[in-house]
Amino acid sequence: MPENMRRREFIKILGAGMGGALVGTSFLKGFTPPEGLNASELLKNSTIKKTATYCEICFWKCAGWVYEKDGQPWKIVGNPDDPSSNGRFCPRGTGGLGAYTDPDRLKTPLIRTEERGKQVFREATWDEAFDYIADKMKMISEKWGPECIALFTHGSGGDYFKNLLKAYGSNNIAAPSYAQCRGPREEAYVLTFGEGVDSPERTDLLNSKCIVLIGSHIGENMHNGQVQEFSEAVANGASVITVDPRFSTAASKSKYWLPIKPATDTALLLAWIHVIIEEELYDKEYVEKYTYGFDLLKESVSQNTPEWAYPITTIKPHIIRETAREMGKHVPATIIHPGRHVTWYGDDTQRVRAGAILNALLGSWGRRGGFFVPAKAHLAKYPMPKFPDSHKDWRQAYPGKYPLASLALASGICDATIPTPERDCSFKGWFVYGTNLIQTLPQPEKTIEAIQALELLVVIDILPSEITGWADVILPECTYLERYDDVRVSPARIPTVALRAPAFEPQFNTKPASWMAKELSKRLGLEQYFAWETFEEYLDYQFKSVGTSLEEMKQIGVKKLESDHPIYFLNGEDYEFSTPTGKIELYSTTLAEHGFDPVPKYTAHPEPPEGFYRLLYGRAPMHTFGRTTNNPLLADLMDENEVWVNPKVANKWGLHHQQYVILENQDGKRSNKIRVKVTERIRHDAVYMVHGFGHTQSKMRRSYMKGADDTQLISRVDLDPIMGGTGMRGNFVTFKTEAV
Ligand SMILES: Nc1nc2c(c(=O)[nH]1)N[C@H]1C(S)=C(S)[C@@H](COP(=O)(O)OP(=O)(O)OC[C@H]3O[C@@H](n4cnc5c(=O)[nH]c(N)nc54)[C@H](O)[C@@H]3O)O[C@H]1N2
Ligand SMILES: Nc1nc2c(c(=O)[nH]1)N[C@H]1C(S)=C(S)[C@@H](COP(=O)(O)OP(=O)(O)OC[C@H]3O[C@@H](n4cnc5c(=O)[nH]c(N)nc54)[C@H](O)[C@@H]3O)O[C@H]1N2
Ligand code: SF4
Ligand SMILES: [Mo]
């Protein structure tokens, strides 16, 4: 496929997702030469500086170059040597300069002076802020133990605080990107294949001939390399089967769109497994050689016919058969995409496992067009002492529950912070790095109740997001454009290392998280865990261990390394999977041992009551959650969200396109006002909105009260008994028009 053709398809998918908004760098008014001007003329007398970075606007971490012209920030572009970006940034990454120029940024450390939540702070020096924190940490440690301090984290700089906390004696480190995002997926794949899917995903979309998307809304979910590969597969004629109650951008590129009744995907997946077994569409040799429990699986799905699934899913039996045959036709280059945000209905590990089982039957794990075997650079760790043993962890608050959670649950730590007579170690201190817990954890009242019980809340952020309003101490981080961070070692087909170096001096009185953690370590007697003199020396040490140096990385940004293994299984290769049987477990011995269904079964979920609609949510291509909705460049592209309503429903309620409504859920929780988008693209039993809007923090002036926040309507949570994920799509809303 010629490069320009691929690029056109990529832009088409971008464009479809963005409702025709401009893409590329041209929307960066003020940073790009205006249309019609000869760029080389314009630059003749300019000084240009370029600095290597990797993007922090989302967690795909694309590597790129930041340009400065005549001492002014100019543009950010992708690094062509980077397999995550292939030289192109997505609209959000291109708009990353807006994070730097945002006038609402945090500017100096702040210490709270009135009761928590009132948002009255005084400006403080860094020394004052660190002394305050260190004193409180010591007090908590003496009274309750160091384990009563937890860290919530999302993003590069969280790693330094992880080290600090582990050195202090607490392993209670949680990320909402586990129990509110991809936790069930990782556990389902570990149970089935002995390994997780990881990020960036090990999906070989580039070479797929048939791609099945269960919800995954690629194109709106704008993970760069993935969208590029999807575009290329589409351009190469791959069949796409999209299962989504909404006609997504991906659905518009699909051979089949299955507008499934929400919450019934497991039934469809089981029916597909049934057909694939019944019609012998599976990869027999692969199943024979690598899998365990085929007969048990076959027996378990014997009743799950397409006719059984039809009334549950509303997908007609002949469509279920036809799509199953389409998958079978392309074996093993068929992939059931594992999804990413999979915490939907509480039985998520089982649903994702049903997809994993299909992948196993189709022979796609370890095969071209399925899942490749990723490689990762192995850097030497900068020397530091062993961490002390940590004696208590979050699990003690949940005896016997969520046995297969391999990471701490953010929601679990939050709940365990609310004091109850039964718990001896409620958490007393939180560090919150780069995660806006008020908008990110469901049931925001609970989050606030937990916060009110804390002795110490430290928030490290770049913006005055909602969570900072509750902090005792706010530590203002400089943006990723103003700092070094750890070496990027993303898993991929070929291992790479990438550098993030500061393109600009930190503005105001902001600092990198690496510096903050090191300074705090000195006050806690833990400086041996941050033994580097300068961050440059720390990076150089690691780069040298893989045959490069900081000096070279500044010139090239990304370095490709040699891989030590092929990316697909070799023909007939013996392979030992890291499962108890050493095989791909169609029947999970681990789930059986813990008393869970060893083969997924369909469980029905509550339906919306009369006059209510299931609340679905997702992404917009120009925003990352709520972290970019205040970004001046990206807010220009989309400054509020809309609620998608089917015309039949709009008719019933007398709603017209673009009118404002308030949504109220089954528990009487209300949203901010939100515009109605009347569209056939959503089913009649659900509504849809993009997450990340409806900020309630007035200090984020551009995004304050613009659109609505789905989180405020997520008061019901369906917990995954296997690993504690919080299913968030069991909430139903109705319209309130009189209150707008
Ligand atoms: N209702 C609802 N809840 C959800 C989701 C949903 O769709 N709907 N999605 C879930 C998913 S999939 C995920 S992964 C999580 C993600 O949710 P979070 O973990 O909260 O991640 P973000 O929203 O990206 O975090 C945003 C915070 O990071 C700050 N920030 C940005 N850059 C930096 C930086 O360089 N340094 C520091 N210190 N801070 C920075 C921002 O200002 C903001 O306060 O949310 C989950 N929760
Ligand atoms: N632009 C942009 N891209 C992002 C992000 C971002 O913030 N902005 N965040 C990144 C992160 S951390 C994550 S986790 C991913 C999330 O992106 P995905 O993993 O793709 O998220 P999903 O929850 O699958 O996506 C929502 C889709 O599921 C559909 N859906 C809702 N309910 C059901 C159902 O019951 N069944 C089915 N089959 N479909 C349903 C919705 O209509 C919607 O199209 O996106 C990543 N990419
Ligand atoms: S996908 Fe976009 S926002 Fe995410 S890291 Fe890459 S360029 Fe940045
Ligand atoms: Mo996520």
Predicted confidence band of residue 413 (pLDDT cuts 50, 70, 90): very high
Q: Is the pLDDT of residue 256 over 90?
A: yes
Start-end of CATH 3.40.228.10 domains in the chain: 193-374+576-593
Q: Is the CB of 617 under 6 A from ligand 1?
A: yes
β-sheet bridge partners, residue 62: none
Ligand 3 center to residue 60 CA distance, Å? 6
Q: How far is residue 258's CA from residue 246's CA, in Å, rounded to a whole number?
A: 9
Q: Alpha carbon 547 to chain centroid distance?
A: 32
Predicted confidence band of residue 21 (pLDDT cuts 50, 70, 90): very low
Q: Would the CA dihedral through 22, 28, 30, 33 be positive or negative?
A: negative
Predicted confidence band of residue 27 (pLDDT cuts 50, 70, 90): very low
Mean pLDDT of 679-699: 98
| Nearest atom in ligand 2 to 340's CA | 19
* Amino acid code (one letter) for 515: W
Of residues 152 and 397, more confidently modeled: 152
Ligand 2 center to residue 134 CA distance, Å? 40
Top mutation candidate among 625, 631, 665, 711 for ligand 1, by most atoms within 8 Å of CB: 625
What pLDDT is stored for residue 1 in this prediction? 47
pLDDT in tens, 229-250: 999 999 999 999 999 999 999 9
Mean pLDDT of 313-319: 98
* Amino acid code (one letter) for 300: S
Q: Are 190 and 723 in contact (CB under 8 A)?
A: no
What pLDDT is stored for residue 11 in this prediction? 65
Report the topology of domain 613-736: Barwin-like endoglucanases (2.40.40)
DSSP H or E run through 5: helix 3-17
Mean pLDDT of 477-481: 98
DSSP string covering 656-686: -TT-EEEEEETTS-EEEEEEEEE-TTB-TTE
What pLDDT is stored for residue 391 in this prediction? 83
DSSP H or E run through 584: strand 584-585
Top mutation candidate among 13, 92, 558 for ligand 3, by most atoms within 8 Å of CB: 92
Kindly list the protein residues whose Cβ atom lies closer than 6 A to any atom of ligand 3.
Answer: 55, 57-58, 60-62, 85, 89-90, 92-93, 222-224
pLDDT in tens, 539-570: 999 999 999 999 999 999 999 999 989 999 99
- Least confident window among 35-49, 113-127, 362-376, 681-695: 35-49
Ligand 3 center to residue 544 CA distance, Å? 27
Mean pLDDT of the chain: 94
Which ligand ends up closest to the CA of 506? 1
pLDDT in tens, 609-622: 999 999 999 999 99
Which ligand ends up closest to the CA of 53? 3
What pLDDT is stored for residue 572 in this prediction? 87
Mean pLDDT of 530-546: 98
Does domain 193-374+576-593 match CATH 3.20.20.70? no
Closest protein CA for atom 8 of ligand 3: 93
Distances (CA, A) of 75 to 35, 52, 301, 624: 15, 12, 54, 19
Q: Are 254 and 217 in contact (CB under 8 A)?
A: no
| Nearest atom in ligand 3 to 57's CA | 3
- Least confident window among 13-27, 105-119, 280-294, 501-515: 13-27
SS (H, E, C) 497-564: EECCCCCCCCCCCCECHHHHHHHHHHHCCCHHHHCCCCHHHHHHHHHHCCCCCHHHHHHHCEEECCCC
pLDDT in tens, 154-208: 999 999 999 999 999 999 999 999 999 999 999 999 999 999 999 999 999 999 9
Strand bridging mode 613-618 / 686-690? parallel
Mean pLDDT of 261-284: 98
Start-end of CATH 2.40.40.20 domains in the chain: 613-736
DSSP string covering 363-421: T-BTSTTSB---B---PPPPP-PPPPP----GGGGSTTS-TT--SB-HHHHHHHHS--T
The percentage of residues in the chain with a pLDDT greater than 90, rounded to a whole number, is 91
Burial of 303-312, coded b for 16+ CB within 10 Å and e otherwise, reads: ebbbebbbeb
Predicted confidence band of residue 251 (pLDDT cuts 50, 70, 90): very high
Biggest CA–CA distance in the chain, Å, is 75
Mean pLDDT of 709-733: 98
What pLDDT is stored for residue 422 in this prediction? 77
Q: Is the pLDDT of residue 25 over 50?
A: no
pLDDT in tens, 592-649: 999 999 999 999 999 999 999 999 999 999 999 999 999 999 999 999 999 999 999 9
712 class by beta-carbon count within 10 Å (0-12 exposed, 13-18 middle, 19+ buried): buried
What pLDDT is stored for residue 606 in this prediction? 97
What pLDDT is stored for residue 30 in this prediction? 38
What pLDDT is stored for residue 553 in this prediction? 98
What pLDDT is stored for residue 117 in this prediction? 85
Q: Alpha carbon 415 to chain centroid distance?
A: 22
Predicted confidence band of residue 740 (pLDDT cuts 50, 70, 90): confident
Top mutation candidate among 244, 343, 644, 690 for ligand 2, by most atoms within 8 Å of CB: 244
Which ligand ends up closest to the CA of 55? 3
What pLDDT is stored for residue 23 in this prediction? 40
Closest protein CA for atom 8 of ligand 2: 624
Closest protein CA for atom 6 of ligand 3: 62
Q: Is the pLDDT of residue 36 over 60?
A: no
Ligand 4 center to residue 181 CA distance, Å? 5
Mean pLDDT of 697-708: 98
Distances (CA, A) of 36 to 8, 22, 40, 44, 273: 22, 17, 12, 16, 57
Closest protein CA for atom 4 of ligand 3: 58
